[in-house]
Amino acid sequence: MVASAGAVVVAACSSAPKPIPENAPVYPGEAAGQAKILNVQVLRSGPSITFTNTTAGPLGPCRMWLNQRFSRMIDKIEVGQTVTLDLYSFTDEFGDEFRGGGFFSMERPDKVVLSQIEVPGADGTPSLLGLITIAGGEDD
């Protein structure tokens, strides 16, 4: 009886594999190329990033990429608007979340080393625009 109760506890602790999303976005890579770098600074603070649209026009809606792997859609960002995004809202093509860290995190957080936005080019193919990524803040 004790052995069967232990088996139930062990079975309850196991988790099923995470299903891979069907239409998950894939980093456009070299095919898209990085057209230019915008004067927009992305600053990490704990499990989130913050940036202000300091360009002459609105950004988005578009897809934001971190480290050429994790992405999420962002809404239109007006000139001068500041946006804070939760790093856990960024996922890769396999459905894995960006490890954002934070006080209760059990794993070491991922670093944010590259941030880009993907916009449609004039011919409809994706184009990447680089953002200025400020290092640090992983352990906040």
Give the angle 22-24-30 at the CA atoms, nearest 5°.
Answer: 135
Q: Residue 140's pLDDT is what?
A: 46
Q: What value does the mean pLDDT take over residues 28-52?
A: 89
Q: Residue 123's pLDDT is what?
A: 82
Q: Is the pTM of this model over 0.85?
A: no
Our measurement of the distance from residue 107's CA atom to the centroid of its chain's CA atoms, rounded to an integer in Å, reads 17
Q: How many CA atoms lie within 13 A of 87 on its CB side?
A: 25
For 98-137, what is each residue's pLDDT tens digit? 877 666 656 677 899 999 999 887 788 889 999 999 976 5
Q: Residue 30's pLDDT is what?
A: 73
Q: What would the CATH number be for the domain defined by 24-134? A: 2.60.40
Largest CA-CA distance found in the chain, in angstroms, rounded: 71
